[in-house]
Amino acid sequence: MPPPFPAAGYSEDIIRRVRVVFNGKYVADAKKPKLVWERPYYPIYYFSQSDVVKDKYLANETKTDQPGVLLYDLVVGDRTSPSAVTVFTSGDFEGYAKIGIDKADAWFEEDERVYSHPKDPYKRIQILQSSKHVRVEIDGVEVANTTHPKLLYETGLPIRKYIPHTDVRLDLLKPDEKLKTSCPYKGDADYYVVELPNGQEKTGLAWWYKNPTAESVEIKGYIAFYDEKVDIWVDGVKEEKPVSPFT
């Protein structure tokens, strides 16, 4: 039985057709790819080398510092994606290759488009309406105060408190035109820059989903704050800052 929280280096075969598109061509097409956790927080796909169109679209072989690991450019027509494909010629994954998730144009699981990275089959999302009193401060300035947050439970991560826009100091927020992130469980996140009364600006602390995925639709239009870097009170009790798993 696989562990509930796969450690780095864990892998498993899955029965799911996965295809990768670059410049209008399928450069990989696998009916039984491998999910590999290179790090413990999420998996990526490895393909049997026979499922990657090696002779046709891979060029400019480059050796790496790791024995048995080669890099190739992905070349289709007039477009090149440098160092896009890693091929393993020895070791635990001999005979496999991986394509950088951001090195191709599109990924499909069966006929469904995949964004960001594959979902971890051992993680889930649960969103609960709450009547807890949640207050958020940044450097002593209250930026949010609500009694009807939505609590998002995501396996392995701190509980995120999503707060209605109407309960947030919108006069202190302005859209961040540079920072965007994507999550396979929640969708594409837009961020705010927090402008404190003293003129200081804080980035990466507040985000929201304009059009979340179906499984996370309940947080649509709600704002979350990065618990690890702000001060949060729940029912009058200040929470200890959680340790981010990504540090």
Task: Write down the pLDDT at residue 53.
Answer: 82
Q: Kindly indicate whether the domain formed by 11-114 is annotated with CATH number 3.20.20.70.
A: no
Using DSSP's 3-state secondary structure scheme, residue 56 falls into helix
**What average pLDDT score do residues 84-90 get?**
95
- The tokens describing 143, both together, are 């930026």
Written as one letter, the residue type at 143 is V
Instruction: Give residue 169's pLDDT.
Output: 97
Query: Does this chain's domain 11-114 share its CATH topology with 125-238?
Result: yes
Cβ–Cβ contacts within 10 Å for residue 176, how many?
A: 18
CA dihedral 10, 12, 18, 20 (to 10 degrees): 30
> Residue 168's pLDDT is what?
98
Class of domain 125-238: mainly beta
* pLDDT tens-place string over residues 27-79: 999 999 999 999 888 899 999 999 998 778 999 999 999 999 999 999 999 99
| Mean local confidence (pLDDT), 193-220 | 96
Q: How confident is the model at residue 244 (pLDDT cuts 50, 70, 90)?
A: low
Half-sphere exposure of 158 (CA within 13 A, CB side): 18
Give me 38's structure tokens: 């290179």
pLDDT band at 218 (very low <50, low <70, confident <90, very high): very high
And the tokens for 200? 């200081």
- pTM for this prediction: 0.83
- Indicate the domain borders of the chain: 11-114, 125-238
| Separation CA 206–CA 222 (nearest Å) | 10
